[in-house]
Amino acid sequence: MQKLSKTASLLDGFLKIGFWCVVILIGFSLVLSILGLCIPTAEFMEPVPDLTLDSITFTVADDHIQSLSSKANALLLMATGLLGSAYLAYVLYTLRRILAPMIDGKPFHETVTLRLKRLSWVTLIGGGILSILATVYDYILLNMYDLDALFLSDGIVNYEVVYRTDLSFVTIFLALRLLTFIFRYGAELQQQADETL
């Protein structure tokens, strides 16, 4: 049990450092977002001349880049970053709270099960929201370029844009739900053992 407590304490130290790094990142992002609201639209986000498709990067001429329609499109990236950072901060905070009873030598404390359950739902909902925002941002970014003029020629007669969504958050949700059931069963066994004594 002492080895578990030491390992949990070490992990907690790393998570604490990570948590405060994310909190600093959130503060920095908030300052940039506020500054972004104060800067005129024309200077806020210049169109990016490079278009990267997998491992190929194209430098696009200015006349094939469409300007952003408003600050809202550019702020979407910052909002996604802020939301992702807040999500990560909550996950790190919850993991530290899960480790707290383990540091005390009580790995099957009833609060561990509740926190794992909350963390699983936050992972599912937060991962879904971040995936949707990432797809919207990709859509906006691709619409900055005149793709027909760039790709349609005698050699290329058609192109297709396929948006990919990372669904790994669903796997993490399922793994956390499984851990919840395992820790719940462990807590029941611990309670029975304590009542027997």
pLDDT of residue 150: 73
pLDDT at residue 123 in the model: 94
**Residue ranges per domain, the chain?**
2-46+72-127+162-196
Check if the beta carbon of residue 153 is closer than 8 Å to that of residue 136. no
Residue 83's φ and ψ, nearest 5 degrees, are -65, -45
Q: How far is CA 94 from CA 12, 15, 26, 110, 186, in A?
A: 11, 10, 17, 15, 20
Cβ 116 vs Cβ 176: under 8 Å: yes
Residue type, 107: P
* Amino acid letter, 101: P
Query: Tell me, what's the pLDDT at 182?
Result: 92
* Among 77, 65, 71, residue whose Cα is nearest residue 142: 65
Residue 45 DSSP class: -
pTM over 0.85: no
Q: Is 99 exposed, middle or buried (0-12, 13-18, 19+ CB in 10 A)?
A: buried
What does each C-alpha distance from 13 to 4, 6, 10, 68, 99 come to in angstroms? 14, 11, 5, 43, 10
Per-residue pLDDT of the chain (197 residues; tens, 9 = 90+): 688 788 888 999 999 999 999 999 888 888 877 776 676 554 445 555 666 777 877 777 766 666 554 455 667 777 788 888 889 999 999 999 999 988 888 888 888 899 999 999 999 999 999 898 888 877 877 777 777 777 777 777 777 777 778 889 999 999 999 999 998 888 888 888 777 76
Condensed to tens digits (0 to 9), the pLDDT of residues 52-93 reads 777 877 777 766 666 554 455 667 777 788 888 889 999 999
Apex 47 CA angle, 44 and 50, nearest 5: 140
Q: Which of 50, 75, 54 is nearest to 65 (CA)?
A: 50
Distance (Å, rounded) from C-alpha 71 to C-alpha 32?
Answer: 13
CA 88, chain centre distance (Å): 6
If DSSP codes are grouped into helix, strand and coil, which group holds residue 134? helix
* Cα–Cα distance measured from residue 177 to residue 19, given in angstroms and rounded to the nearest whole number: 23
Which residue type does 121 have?
W
Residue 42 has what pLDDT?
A: 45
pLDDT for the residue 61: 74
